[in-house]
Amino acid sequence: MEARQKEKEKAKKQVLLRLSPNLWNELAAWAEDDFRSINGQIEYLLTECVKKRKKAKE
């Protein structure tokens, strides 16, 4: 039972995200430069922002 709960916690959540075409193009170019998918790039950027926010609160 605990294993199932841990698997659910690890599962990625899906989100609908609306972006302007200009922002999409910028992210796509940045993702390509970093050898990531656009989803991977967005996840990376959000993760970094959360880390910075946590540090700023300390």
Higher pLDDT, 27 or 12: 27
pLDDT of 9 > 80? The answer is no
Distance of alpha carbon 30 from alpha carbon 16, whole angstroms:
20
Angle between helices 38-57 and 21-33 (to 10 degrees): 90
pTM: 0.76
Average pLDDT over residues 30-57: 96
In this structure, how many other beta carbons lie within 10 angstroms of the beta carbon of residue 41? 19
pLDDT (tens digit per residue) in 13-28: 899 999 999 999 999 9
Distance of alpha carbon 38 from alpha carbon 12, whole angstroms:
16
pLDDT of 1 > 70? The answer is no
pLDDT at 47: 96
Q: Which two tokens stand for residue 7?
A: 């698997």
